[in-house]
Every structure is written in C-alpha cells, then in structure tokens.
Amino acid sequence: MLDALSPGEVVLSKAALLIDQTGMIVERAESGTSQFDQLLRHHDTTWHDERSILMPGLVDLHIHAPQWPQLGTALDRPLEQWLKNYTFPLEERYNDIAFARGVYEELVPALLAQGTTTALYFATIHEKSSLELARSCLKYGQRGFVGLVAMDDSILCPETYRYSEPEAAISATRRFIDAVRQLPGNEGGLVQPVITPRFIPACSETLLRGLGDLACETDVRVQTHASESDWEHDYVKDRFRCTDVEALEAFGLLRRHTVLAHAGFTSADDRKRIRKHHAAIAHCPISNAFFAGAILPIRHLLDEGTACGLGTDISGGYSPSILENARQAVVAARMLTSGVNPDLLQQKRGSQGMAIDFTEAFWLATRGGAEALGVPVGQLRPGMMFDALKLDPRVSMLFPSEEDNAEETVQKIICHAGIHSIACVWVNGRIVSGRYN
C-alpha cells in the first residue's frame, strides 16, 4: 500500500484497511500487528493488498470534458487562435444534447480506467448538455466537480457561443447549481456544481462580479484560468491594470478551494493572495508546453505551501493520464532548473533549484489535488473515503527489486504506470473500473 503523507514523504507498507458502508476507511492496520490479523477476519469489508500495490485514486484538477473529441489534435496554434479556430466551434456543438451525451458517456469511463477518481471539469455554456456530464459522473461513479462555462464577451467569444447578457449567464449558473444538487442518485453529493467563469478575457465585469456574488451567496466552489500565457496575462493587465489574481480577488472569485488553472505567470505576491484565500493552482505541464510559453515554478509552490495539484487540461494537454502529467511535471521542472539553450553558458542557462522529485509529483497527483478541492481523499488513511487504484502485479516493471523502498516504487510508478497497468479502481469503496481479481 502506497500513499504520500506530505509532498516529500511517501509510505510503502503492507497494511489492511477496514471500510464502512459509506465507503469511508475507518481503520488501517500494518502487517505484523494483532490488529492486522483481526481486520483480516472481516473479509467482506477489508482491503488487503497481498501481491499488488494499492494507491490513492488520482485527481484531475483541470479538464475540459467537451474537448475530448479533439484530444491529441489541433496543437499547432497559440492559445487565442486555438480557441477561435478549433475549440469554440467544437464546444458550440454541445448545443446538441445527444452529441454531448455520446461524448460524456465515453469520457467518464475512459478517465476512470486511467485511475482518475476525482475530476474538476469545465463543461460548456449549455445547461442541459452540461447536466449530461454530471449524469455520466453519477452513472459511472466518478467524483465529479462540474462547471457550466460562463462567458459573454462579444469581442473574444463568437456570437453563437456565448451568453448575450451577463444576467443570463448568472441565472443559468444558479439554475445549474440547483439542477446538479437535485439530480436523482446525487443524494450523497458525489457530483458537485462549480461556478466557472472561463477566464477574465471572455467575461464582462458585470458577469465576473455577479458570479463572485453568487459564490459568496451559495458557497459553491469556483474555477477559472489565470495568468496562463503572455497574451492572456497581458490582456488582463491592459484591461484592469492589475494581475489576474488581483482582479479575481476584487470580483470576489478568489475563495476557499477556488482552482486557478495554469497560473504560470503569477508573481510571489499573487501566490500570497492565493494562500490568503485558501485557493489553489492546477498545474498542467503538458498543456503549458504548447500554450503557456513558460514553465510554472512548481518548486516555489511546494516550498511556500501554495495549494496545488495536477490537471490534464484536455485538450490543451494531449494526455488523459494524470500519471503522464506527473511524469511531465518532473521533466518540466528539471528543464526549468537546467535551462534549455545550449548556446548559453551552463551558469546562465537555467533557474537553479527548481526541480521537483517523483515523490512530490506523486503527492500532487493524489493528495495535493484533493486538498486543493477540500475533499477527504488522496490518502489511504482512516477518515478518508476509499478512492483507490490497484496496480496489476503482472506488470513487473512497476515493482522495484528492493520491495520495501518507497521512493523507488514511486519513481517506477510515475515513470511507467498507466491505463494498461491499472487493474482495478474504486470510488467511495465501490469498484468503478476493472476487476477486483
């Protein structure tokens, strides 16, 4: 059994878990103790990984569900052109509920098979089809946070894919919050609505302020993009004479568990504000390689205690796998440290001390994302819900020769695990993908 207690502290041990009717872990006992033997007598409610490795489920802290059909394509343009030429036209098609249902019914099981037990989704501006995404999460048993996208700016957004008035977007968001909460089968709150201004450039001031007020009134979580690229960061600076984070704070959108996607151009002062409001950053290293033009200094975030996790940012990111993004987070941070231009002298090439290691990436992929959202998952410990995945013991390359070395095991898993080595996935103690045996 493998989990991370803090960014640098992973624990690998043989243990048994007792899980209650609601799917919560109520007891954990290490092998060799009398409590362990006792737990194993409750066969039906105990999990014990004799041969394989059990680890916490993965958290995707930023993903655009409607962009699934575009995964692995359309990566040849900068952000602003990519939105206009590819992404807005695709998202507009979700006006058709049947099309939306078809995509979301495919997406949610595909993510569960990748080990993504919790996902923070952007849907589209369409209420009914965005509700289909919430329904798919419920049907397949994924912990889903679903946002109806709000955008009304007539310069940036096409006429056929935006709200014509800010009030319409605000009242649609209000209806969407109620509709998600009232979905049949959602009595336990497995799926939650999220207030989702797409990003500042796509929203009027009235809309941003209205959504901030709605967040304050309903206490619903907020997500948006912030300081993603030079273009986006400068756009906000020109418009408001301040950074994205300062503007979001002024509109009341920087709140506990607000998740800011990308945020690579945030300053130390911005991140201080993020911490002050108990908000978080979704690090999307693959997407950033295509659209950001810079690498988020995740080392600083970990050192200063800014809440953060990992996002696939489908389809700005081409991979649906959080493990693949964890791998890329390590690679990107190393490149930031070393620098990449061989024409420069070594001393001038990089920003030293910016690397992160595999255990930190593992924490980001699991508990980091869970803390950002404020959900009791991400560790296999009493008090947490049993969201977990089991690695296939037949994939021997995942298991180091030194069986009890936690750091090596984590490194193997981050470097090599993926859909083909995930044997079984649980959410709330229920199998949602794969087979137990």
Query: Least CB distance from residue 260 to ligand GUN, whole Å?
Result: 11
Which residue's CB is nearer to Fe ion, number 114 or number 223?
223
Query: Which positions from 413 to 432 touch ligand GUN by CB under 6 A, shown as an x/- string?
Result: --------------------
Measuring CA to CA, which residue among 374, 101, 316 is closest to residue 198? 316
Sign for the pseudo-dihedral over CA of 287, 293, 299, 300: negative
Using rule CB under 6 A, residue 87 touches ligand GUN: yes
| Span from 34-42, 124-132, 259-267, 372-380 in contact with Fe ion (CB under 5 A) | 259-267
| Span from 87-95, 313-321, 336-344, 411-419 in contact with Fe ion (CB under 5 A) | 313-321
Using rule CB under 6 A, residue 316 touches ligand GUN: yes
Question: What's the rounded Cα separation, in Å, for the pair 250 and 296?
Answer: 24
369 interacts with, out of Fe ion, ligand GUN, none, CB within 5 to 8 A per kind = none
327 interacts with, out of Fe ion, ligand GUN, none, CB within 5 to 8 A per kind = none
Contact 68, 102 (CB under 8 A): no
Q: What are phi and psi of 94, to 5 degrees?
A: -75, 5
> Three-state SS across the chain?
CEEEEECCEEEECCEEEEECCCCEEEEEEECCCHHHHHHHCCHHHEEECCCCEEEECEEEEEEEHHHHHHCCCCCCCCHHHHHHHHHHHHHHHHHCHHHHHHHHHHHHHHHHHCCEEEEEEECCCCHHHHHHHHHHHHHHCCEEEEEEEECCCCCCCCCCCCCCCHHHHHHHHHHHHHHHHCCCCCCCCCEEEEEEECEHHHCCHHHHHHHHHHHHHHCCCEEEEECCCHHHHHHHHHHHCCCHHHHHHHCCCCCCCCEEEECCCCCHHHHHHHHHCCCEEEECHHHHHHHCCCCCCHHHHHHHCCEEEECCCCCCCCCCCHHHHHHHHHHHHHHHHHCCCCCCCHHHHCCCCCCCCHHHHHHHHHHHHHHHHCCCCCCCCCCCECCEEEECCCCHHHCCCCCCCHHHHHHHHHHHCCHHHEEEEEECCEEEEECCC
291 interacts with, out of Fe ion, ligand GUN, none, CB within 5 to 8 A per kind = ligand GUN
Query: Least CB distance from residue 62 to Fe ion, whole Å?
Result: 6
Which residue's CB is nearer to ligand GUN, number 147 or number 210?
147
Query: Least CB distance from residue 179 to Fe ion, whole Å?
Result: 23
Stretch 272-291 residues interacting with ligand GUN (CB under 6 A): 287, 291
- Of 249, 313, 371, 387, the residue at the interface with Fe ion (CB under 5 A) is 313
- Of 28, 162, 174, 198, the residue at the interface with ligand GUN (CB under 6 A) is 198
223 interacts with, out of Fe ion, ligand GUN, none, CB within 5 to 8 A per kind = none
68 interacts with, out of ligand GUN, Fe ion, none, CB within 5 to 8 A per kind = none
Query: Which positions from 224 to 263 touch ligand GUN by CB under 6 A, shown as an x/- string?
Result: -x--x-----------------------------------
198 interacts with, out of ligand GUN, Fe ion, none, CB within 5 to 8 A per kind = ligand GUN
Which residue's CB is nearer to Fe ion, number 132 or number 313?
313
| Span from 79-87, 94-102, 327-335, 404-412 in contact with ligand GUN (CB under 6 A) | 79-87
Using rule CB under 6 A, residue 199 touches ligand GUN: yes
Which residue's CB is nearer to ligand GUN, number 244 or number 270?
244
Which residue's CB is nearer to ligand GUN, number 79 or number 414?
79
Query: Least CB distance from residue 395 to ligand GUN, whole Å?
Result: 32
Question: What's the rounded Cα separation, in Å, for the pair 435 and 314?
Answer: 27
Using rule CB under 5 A, residue 228 touches Fe ion: no
User: Which residues of this chain interact with Fe ion, rule CB under 5 A?
Assistant: 261, 313
User: Which residues of this chain interact with ligand GUN, rule CB under 6 A?
Assistant: 64, 79, 83, 87, 198-199, 225, 228, 287, 291, 313, 316
